[in-house]
Structure 1
Amino acid sequence: MAALAVAASAATAQEVPAPAAAPVPQAVPVPVAPVALPRLSPAQAKQLAQLLAKDAVAQGLQVEATDRFASLQGDALVRAALDHARAVHAGRLDAADFQRDWGVKPQPYDPLPAFADAVARDRIAQWVQSLPPPYAGYDALVAGLARYRSIAAAGGWPQVSGPELKFGASGPAVARLRERLAIEDPQVAGSGDKFDQALLDAVRRAQRRYGLNPTGNVAAQTQAALNVPVEGRIRQIMANMERWRWLPTKFEERRVQVNIAAAVLTVFEGDKPVMSMKAVTGRPGNETPMLVSSIHSVVLNPPWNVPSSIATKELWPKERANPGYLKRNGFRVLEGGRLQQSSERSALGKYKFDFANDFAVFLHDTPAQAGFSRYGRLESHGCVRLEKPADLAKLLARTTPEWTPDKIEETVAAGKTVRARLADPVAVYLLYWTAFGGANGQVGFRDDPYSWDATLASKVEARSAKQMLAAK
């Protein structure tokens, strides 16, 4: 009846005409003067067009050089320069290009003031040089991109195939292996069909560069890494350069960085790494998102509030198949059918590191230590499991007087769930690096388990092509 009454009241109200409202004065729009673009001299226009054509390739915004900038004049060339500046400094993608789990977004950037100043002072070349992210890691990829493009121009590299190759082997397959390794590794002699100690060392260097177990044996996994076409490596580098452009131009003094693809956590103080450990990150289908946040608390002896997706897909089926499974493993059913695992049996172990984010992920301990012995460590539901969480907790709490290392250990031993708030929250970055500068100027690569590299490189190229058309 109540619902009917409400409906009747609404119908009645619609039938009674409302009193006429007094006219609302309309605001008179204030005309906004168009922003004046700087005027280029003929010499500046020629220089700028040449710089943009070269830099668009060098910065990984397009695969090949184009003469489109030479055909632009006046304001059209200036707008192309400003668009290029935004792409190099803050990323080529537009907001609509981002996937939901690409939670690292660039800061707004207006290149016009600096460009106008460069034109006025005739320092256009210096302005172009100032645009890229100010990080050695980005510079290493710029150099790597140029090198791999030169490899592609020379014909790429041969494919390595056949039975597993080991120390002591010989023959044409070994000669091909040596030739292949020499293209990326300047320490390798480019000829010879003997799998000697020098070649064994070269194979191990390559395996470390690709994040593989450095056994020295060239089996299927190593062959697959060696056989990625050079064009694929170029696209990987381009994708990772774009991710660098999304980051702030200055990092926090203290920060935790997780490389999702490599499953490694590193703590930095300034530019110096002070702690590193293995991690376990999300398996494909349960991707760990890229994000930036701040760790504000360490929960000691945390219970596990099970996400509904895991409860539905994994735990309730186990309970139905083996009644009593949930109770035996420390789970209890909360209001609304939600599951919680007690701190004594928690899959989160003894430490959980909390930070605000839209993905309900966090860093945590785990009782399943065997996962850290493997080279491939993408096995979680999206959160990041840590090899040495106690060490991380003590390091992050170093500036929190009440949470000394002894106090942390005592609290964990007591078994009670306690939230230790940090006096100084610590920045945390979950990043997806599959190409990065390594030793001797070489580029290290990792698999692209989420297939994000190809997607991102395609988006960069498509957005660059669209901007080219818009500038014509």
Structure 2
Amino acid sequence: MTRYRSLAGFLAFLIGAIGSISSFAAEPLWVGSDPARVRAEALVAALRGASAHGLEPGWYGVSEVEKALLPGADPAVTEALLTAAFVTYASDVSTGRVRANRIDGNIDIQQRRVERSDLLKEAAAASDFSAYLASLSPKGDYPALQKALATWRDKRAKAAFTLLPDGGLLKPGMSDPRVPVLRKRLAELELVMPETGPAPDLYDDKLVAVVKAYQETKGLTVDGVIGAKTTQSLNTTIDDRIEQIVANLERRRWLPEDLGSRYVLVNAGDYSMVFIDGGRTVFQSLVIVGTPKDPTPEIQSVMRGFQTNPYWTVPQSISGEEYLPMLRRNPYALQSAGFKIFENWQDNTELDPASVDWNSISPKAFPYRIRQDPGAGNALGYIFFPFNNRYGIYMHDTANRWLFTEGSRNFSHGCIRLQNPLDFVEKVFDGRNGFSKERVRQVIDGGQQAHYAFPDSVVLHVTYRTVTANTDGTPVFRDDIYGRDRRVVREMAKPRS
């Protein structure tokens, strides 16, 4: 039926479902009356259409449900089968099929939940059951993603796919046998192609312009160079894109319908951040997020203020993996960048780096504390935004502002680097508490460490959406740099526990 791991488990579910009905409903929901028949027909139609949500009708036993509605079927079994199908489908389509936090150690969110008894009560009370079923899924860009799913499934049956061969960097002005293949692949992606010149192998300016347009839409570095990332993106199959849409429909079902009236939404999937206040977008920015090795997690938290000229205390993992090799080559290698090394994590007893045999130190058990002083080269920049989370990440400024010119901005150890942090806090304060961006800049320039509390806290949502929709409904794809979309789809297809 719903792919439970055992018949006993499924029968136990049915008994529980029937018990839930009997606790509040005087009449069966699915059999024995005209209203019940209408509900049953609407439910079968919804189950048949589950694929529009990226769900599979077979997960809800639609064939068994239809057989149970045939004349001569046992009414009690029919009632139980439809009840199980309904509560499973309704839960999946409204809150997600899987428990998000079980998929990946870098997901720690408060997923929407529904009570089975509440769903059954709502079903019994609904005057228009078809409309009620349609209302269960999220709003926002969810319908646009559903439309994109249907479009890409239609493409799968019609579109051609040509693999672009790997090779060295293909730069503007070069001649390469891959150029005709590149033209063919871009045409398959429905991009408007310029006419081929007298030299078919020449990577000319007109073709470079098309590649740059493609790179921009995928969040790649817009340089017209065909390297490993652009080749990988161009070689993403239609099935891969369909899988991405399915994963992002599921991820949207995890989130609350209403994120609040005052919140920051960071999308690590497309390197973006927006600040919503009073239902309006009042600030938006580019961000830098974690590498595939150190991915930015999906979390929910609260931001209450910021600090100027922060110290950066280096996590032990970074100390062992990145700085220990440098110290082995030169004990004083970190001093020029403003780093100090302390004997422990309890006090500020400074250590002479030359007094340590760094070759004897294990990178997995680095015992010392490394801290970088405030300044122009500080990894956190001039502004630091702390917030509670179990990963030890935060939002901050950066000394490497040039990285914001890159398309794929996944360079951090998991933290979120904000492009214009002072402009952001100006919008958060909105003229209250006598806040002045100029005075904060003076504090920064003076090297002072100061703490500022926001007049109202700001809810923070960090998500990973690799497919979103523009205001006109056009889907926007980003490459799945963390591989989470594939894990979501695999988890969705597993049998129920």
Q: Same fold judged by TM-score > 0.5? A: yes
Which residue, out of 329, 337, 341, partners 2:337? 329
User: Letter of the aligned partner of 2:380 in structure 1?
Assistant: L
> Which residue number corresponds to residue 51 of structure 2?
57
> Which residue number corresponds to residue 451 of structure 2?
419
User: Which segments of 5 or more consecutive residues in structure 2 lack a partner in the other structure?
Assistant: 1-17, 23-27, 31-35, 69-77, 346-367
CA 224–319 in structure 1, closer or farther in 2 if over 3 Å, else same: closer
CA 270–157 in structure 1, closer or farther in 2 if over 3 Å, else same: farther
Tell me the TM-score normalized by structure 1.
0.80
> Which residue number corresponds to residue 19 of structure 2?
34
For the 8 Å contact 2:87–2:119, the answer to whether it is kept is: no
Greater Cα offset, 335-344 or 192-201: 192-201
CA 141–365 in structure 1, closer or farther in 2 if over 3 Å, else same: same
Report the CA distance between 1:74 and its aligned residue.
Answer: 1.2
Structure 2 residue 424 is matched with structure 1 residue 380 = no
CA distance in structure 2 between the partners assigned to 1:166 and 1:321 by the alignment:
40
Structure 2 residue 120 is matched with structure 1 residue 141 = no
> Which residue number corresponds to residue 274 of structure 1?
282
For the 8 Å contact 1:399–1:424, the answer to whether it is kept is: no
CA 162–316 in structure 1, closer or farther in 2 if over 3 Å, else same: closer
Report the CA distance between 1:106 and its aligned residue.
Answer: 0.9
CA distance in structure 1 between the partners assigned to 2:488 and 2:126 by the alignment:
37
Q: CA RMSD in A?
A: 3.2
User: Letter of the aligned partner of 1:151 in structure 2?
Assistant: K
CA distance in structure 2 between the partners assigned to 1:50 and 1:157 by the alignment:
34
Report the CA distance between 1:92 and its aligned residue.
Answer: 0.8
Tell me the TM-score normalized by structure 2.
0.76
Report the CA distance between 1:291 and its aligned residue.
Answer: 0.6
Which residue, out of 328, 331, 338, partners 2:369? 338
For the 8 Å contact 1:53–1:67, the answer to whether it is kept is: no
User: Letter of the aligned partner of 1:289 in structure 2?
Assistant: P
CA distance in structure 2 between the partners assigned to 1:156 and 1:177 by the alignment:
9
Which residue, out of 379, 387, 407, partners 1:347? 379
Greater Cα offset, 60-69 or 103-112: 60-69
CA distance in structure 1 between the partners assigned to 2:221 and 2:251 by the alignment:
27
User: Letter of the aligned partner of 2:405 in structure 1?
Assistant: S
CA distance in structure 2 between the partners assigned to 1:425 and 1:198 by the alignment:
49
CA distance in structure 2 between the partners assigned to 1:360 and 1:302 by the alignment:
15
User: Letter of the aligned partner of 2:396 in structure 1?
Assistant: H
1:48-197 mapped onto 2 (5 Å cutoff) = 48-54=43-49, 56-62=50-56, 67-71=63-67, 73-94=78-99, 97-110=102-115, 112-135=117-140, 137-154=141-158, 157-160=161-164, 173=181, 176-177=184-185, 179-182=187-190, 188=192
CA 360–91 in structure 1, closer or farther in 2 if over 3 Å, else same: same
For the 8 Å contact 2:270–2:478, the answer to whether it is kept is: yes
> Which residue number corresponds to residue 447 of structure 1?
479
Report the CA distance between 1:213 and its aligned residue.
Answer: 3.8
Report the CA distance between 1:348 and its aligned residue.
Answer: 0.9
CA distance in structure 1 between the partners assigned to 2:402 and 2:66 by the alignment:
59
CA deviation map 1:168-192 (0-9, x unaligned):
999964763464022xx6xx48x97
Report the CA distance between 1:118 and its aligned residue.
Answer: 3.8
User: Letter of the aligned partner of 1:39 in structure 2?
Assistant: L
CA 347–215 in structure 1, closer or farther in 2 if over 3 Å, else same: closer
CA distance in structure 2 between the partners assigned to 1:192 and 1:402 by the alignment:
60
CA distance in structure 1 between the partners assigned to 2:313 and 2:227 by the alignment:
42
Q: Sequence identity of aligned pairs in percent?
A: 26
